[in-house]
Amino acid sequence: MSEERQIQLEVLRYNPETDLEPRFQTYSVPCVNEWVVLDALNYVKENLDPTLSYRWSCHMAVCGSCGYMINGEPKLGCKAFIHEYGDHIRVEPLAHFPIERDLVTVVEDFITKFSSVKPYLIPKEDKPISAGEFKQTPAQLMKFKQYTLCINCMLCYAACPQYGLVPEFLGPAAISMAHRYNQDSRDGGRDQRQEVIASHEGVWECSFVGACSEVCPKHVDPAGALQQVKVASTIDWYKEHLMPWSKK
């Protein structure tokens, strides 16, 4: 039998039309232990306060829409089970992003940065469709497979203190995605991406706090990807300066 308990759900509210700054509002929500925090928010929306704004879609950790700070920790609302918390749960918008309204954040900065690393396959050479597919061995796939699991939920940006302190930082997910394509045997776009990710605002702004990997709901390990980009970029630098005759 499902056990029901009353949860005090404290939610950060902000209405740009009427509020000068955000404020907390507490709702008393009858929760079933199998619920996730997103279910509690949906209960509030449907039964207590239809004005509450928040993003969500799939409810199964695939779409990456329902990232919130739950008791100060970046989490997906659909993966944060009520039974893992006490009777008081505080939900805030993702840290380090401007608040649009209530739990909805402004994500344009992330989208611009993510797009800037050309997160798509740039084939080494053009090939007519009739020549068939680009083939890849399982070992070549394994080299980057974990990075393909990113769902762009932005929890890594909310966890990264460096992004909070230096908003110009390209950030974990964007650089990890660049690394994903750089590691792909079918790809030839590394030089184009290096211009963006090997810059000061790129990977060198990362000080390897490692928080991004700890909060990643898909175990992408962005921190690992960033360190590998640093190693590769350092090798590039030495090759360029000590062996100018060698091609990168």
Partner 1 sequence: MSSKPYIREIPKSSWFFRQPRYMRYMAREVTSFFIGAFTLLLVVGLKRLAQGPDAFQSFLDALRGPLGVLFCLVALVAAIYHSTSWFNVTPQAMPIQRGEEFVPGKLIVGAHYAIWAVVSLIVLIMGI
- Contacting positions for partner 1 (CB under 8 A): 14, 16-17, 19, 21-22, 72-73, 95-96, 98-101, 106, 108, 138-139, 142-143, 161, 164-165, 207-211, 213-214, 221, 223-224, 227-228, 230-231
C-beta of 46 vs 108, nearer to partner 1: 108
Report, in Å, the least distance between residue 120 CB and partner 1.
Answer: 24
C-beta of 31 vs 197, nearer to partner 1: 197
C-beta of 59 vs 90, nearer to partner 1: 90
C-beta of 58 vs 106, nearer to partner 1: 106
Tokens 């739990």, residue located:
103
Closest CA to 65 of 181, 217, 223, 224: 217
Number of helices followed by number of strands (H, E) in the chain = 9, 7
Report, in Å, the least distance between residue 227 CB and partner 1.
Answer: 4
Length of the chain: 248
Give the Cα separation of 143 and 128 in Å (integer). 26
C-beta of 95 vs 155, nearer to partner 1: 95
Query: Rounded to the nearest 5 degrees, what angle is found at the Cα of 159, between the Cα atoms of 153 and 164?
Result: 105
Report, in Å, the least distance between residue 23 CB and partner 1.
Answer: 11
Which residues fall within 8 angstroms of residue 108, CB to CB, at 6 or more apart?
none
- Residue 166 DSSP code: -
Report, in Å, the least distance between residue 34 CB and partner 1.
Answer: 28
Element (DSSP H or E) covering residue 31: strand 23-32
Q: Which two tokens mark 90?
A: 């505080």
The β-bridge partners of 75 are 68
Report, in Å, the least distance between residue 222 CB and partner 1.
Answer: 10
Give the Cα separation of 173 and 114 in Å (integer). 7
Report, in Å, the least distance between residue 219 CB and partner 1.
Answer: 12
Q: Are 55 and 104 in contact, with CB atoms under 8 Å apart?
A: yes
C-beta of 75 vs 101, nearer to partner 1: 101
Report, in Å, the least distance between residue 136 CB and partner 1.
Answer: 12
Q: Are 82 and 143 in contact, with CB atoms under 8 Å apart?
A: no
C-beta of 189 vs 222, nearer to partner 1: 222
